[in-house]
């Protein structure tokens, strides 16, 4: 692969992930200022200002991971790992739509459990192509684990 294609691929994969975050933020910003603030939350809920920077870093890491898989194997040879990646990205966007857009923490919890499984499977598939790509998804899985516990707590506290 020539260097221009490699750089453009990095920009595209990272842009795809940041774009997913942007789509999710459309749902989030509609509810975070009123509905979310009014919810009962556990004492270990991070301050609101933490979520944006954490997600930005995670989306960049996800993009780099997908790029590494694409760069190593190409789109056709890495079709399965990249399809798994697409599934988890859709579930990621869906969580924001369900939790914030539809204001349904219970259904959002169902989605985030599916997201956790999808990220775990994607991480394994990426690791098999290039270990660095799998490792780059580990912080995302940790954050989804934490977010799952937070989602469950919010759902239970506000049922």
Mean pLDDT, rounded, for 133-153: 98
Dihedral over Cα of 53, 4, 88, 78: its sign = negative
Q: Do the Cβ atoms of 47 and 66 come closer than 8 Å?
A: no
- Per residue in 15-52, pLDDT (tens digit) is 999 999 999 999 999 898 899 999 999 999 999 999 99
pTM of structure: 0.95
Q: Cα torsion for 84, 143, 114, 137, to the nearest 10°? A: 10
Residue 25 CA to residue 28 CA, distance in Å, equals: 5
Fold of 3-157: Ferritin (1.20.1260)
Which H/E stretch holds residue 85?
helix 79-96
Q: Do the Cβ atoms of 116 and 148 come closer than 8 Å?
A: yes
Counting residues of the chain whose pLDDT is more than 70, the rounded percentage is: 100
Among the ranges given (45-49, 111-115, 133-137, 152-156), the one the predictor scored with the smallest mean pLDDT: 45-49
State phi, psi for 128 to the nearest 5 degrees.
-65, -30
Asked if the model's pLDDT at residue 66 lies above 90, the reply is: yes
Asked if the model's pLDDT at residue 4 lies above 90, the reply is: yes
The residues spanned by each domain of the chain are 3-157
What is the model's pLDDT at position 30? 86
Q: Residue 156: name the closest of 27, 39, 30, 48 by CA.
A: 39
- Per residue in 77-99, pLDDT (tens digit) is 999 999 999 999 999 999 999 99
What is the model's pLDDT at position 80? 98
Q: How confident is the model at residue 131 (pLDDT cuts 50, 70, 90)?
A: very high
What is the model's pLDDT at position 33? 85
Residue 144 CA to residue 117 CA, distance in Å, equals: 10
Q: How confident is the model at residue 14 (pLDDT cuts 50, 70, 90)?
A: very high
User: How many CA atoms, within 13 angstroms, populate the side-chain half-sphere of residue 95?
Assistant: 21
């Amino acid at each position: 692969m020539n260097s221009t294609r490699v750089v453009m691929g990095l920009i595209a994969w990272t842009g795809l992930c940041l774009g997913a975050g942007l789509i999710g933020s459309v749902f989030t910003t509609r509810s975070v200022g009123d509905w979310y603030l009014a919810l009962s939350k556990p004492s270990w809920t991070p301050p609101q200002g933490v979520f944006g920077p954490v997600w930005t870093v995670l989306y960049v890491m996800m993009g780099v991971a997908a790029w590494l898989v694409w760069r190593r194997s190409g789109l056709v040879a890495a079709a399965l790992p990249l399809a798994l990646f697409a599934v988890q990205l859709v579930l990621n966007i869906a969580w924001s739509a369900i939790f914030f857009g539809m204001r349904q923490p219970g259904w959002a919890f169902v989605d985030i459990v599916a997201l956790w499984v999808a990220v775990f499977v994607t991480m394994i598939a990426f690791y098999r192509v290039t270990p660095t790509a799998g490792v780059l998804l580990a912080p995302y899985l940790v954050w989804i684990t934490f977010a799952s516990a937070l989602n469950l707590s919010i759902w239970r506290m506000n049922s």
